[in-house]
Amino acid sequence: MFKRIISLAVSVSFIFQSAGFAQVAQLNLAGYLGQGSNSITLDRFRPAHLRYFSYEPKTDNFQILLDKADEKELSDSQVKVRADELMKYFRIGLSLPNEKFWVNLRPDAPEQIIDPELENTDVGRIMLEADLQLKRDTSSFTSPQTKEGKEYWDKLYKRAGELFGSENITIPTITRPWIVPGEIIVRESAHGAYIYKAALKVMLEEDYLRGMKDERRGTTIDYSFNDPRLKELNEYSTQLIRELIIPKLTKEVNRAKRYAPLRQVFYSLVLSRWFKARFSSHSSQLTVDSSPNNSYMKLIDSQNLSNLTSKQSWDKAVYFKEYQKSFKEGEYNLS
């Protein structure tokens, strides 16, 4: 049987756009210097997830391999429930076009939070929850009560003093972290795919878009500042976030229990993207009309969400309000 190792790039349409971190602090060292340096502990957890999917188009039969990961005590009935849930994510990935998978919590864009069709699914809810959590974690990890946060503010206050002296200023630190696909390694056979690795990563908005521009698919970000010193300070803050905070966020997204549902969705979507590439009419010798039974092939980009919508209703406005509260009040104070 012919097998090969392939690397999938699905970053075009699987994006969590967090408008997120915009802490503002007064240049007042008195309260800051007394802060501690406790670190936030990683809550590591590997949820059950899809690892393998094979499909026979002529019969519409499929097989899956569910990796129990850290949930090895699941009963047979629980495994079935979990498999049904993960396959639901897979079918949503088939049914909706790739460009539908985005969320965007921004304080200035309440009407552009999530794709309207994705909003009807649990995949959309999980993506929004992850986006909100990323905002909170970014703020928490820059707190002076963490090792990285203390180093961040140490260096930022020092640079602010060099630029402004004793002048009392407001320090703008505008940074937007995004969750995007990382390295993905899949072993492909004639009718199946096995995921060896499917990692997520956190990138700054400007870094991601710069990479997209290099591929002629994106643009660059240029924040406006009246004072060039403020622009320089914000650029320095961004560099510190990139060096000190982003690596820790990436670890959290890939290991922490609070991001476990996102990783389950991600594995299912990786397999659904593989299925689309392998069995769509443009890349397969078989067409959708070649068999009356190939219902999975007929799902591809059909936008048919029958039996795939959320069973429990949820409202995107709830997540937006939580985000607004966190954005306005912050996760900590420097005073």
Q: How many CB atoms lie within 10 A of CB 312?
A: 6
What pLDDT, on the 0 to 100 scale, is given for residue 84?
96
Question: CA–CA separation, 296 vs 193, rounded Å?
Answer: 15
In this predicted structure, what is the pLDDT of residue 335? 52
Dump pLDDT digits (tens) for 268-305: 999 999 999 998 864 445 554 555 556 889 999 999 99
Residue 248: phi and psi, rounded to 5, are: -70, -40
Token reading at 76: 């047979």
The model's pTM: 0.82
Residue 285: predicted pLDDT: 52
Determine the pLDDT at residue 26: 36
Show the DSSP H helices in 10-165 as ranges: 29-32, 76-95, 122-141, 147-164
Question: Token pair of 320, please?
Answer: 């937006």
Q: Which positions ≥6 away from 250 have C-beta within 8 Å?
A: 182, 200, 201, 202
Is residue 221 within 8 Å of 49, Cβ to Cβ?
A: no
If phi > 0 it is left, if psi is from -120 to 50 it is alpha, else beta; for residue 105 that is: beta
**Residue 42 has what pLDDT?**
55
pLDDT at 230: 85
The answer to whether 96 and 300 have CB atoms below 8 angstroms apart is no
- Using CA atoms, how far apart are residues 263 and 21, in angstroms rounded to an integer? 23
pLDDT attached to residue 7: 40
Pairing of strands 15-18, 102-105: parallel
Write out residues in the chain with pLDDT < 70, as ranges.
Answer: 1-42, 172-174, 211-225, 281-294, 327-335
Q: List the one residue out of 204, 176, 203, 208 whose CA is nearest residue 109.
A: 176
pLDDT recorded at residue 332: 53
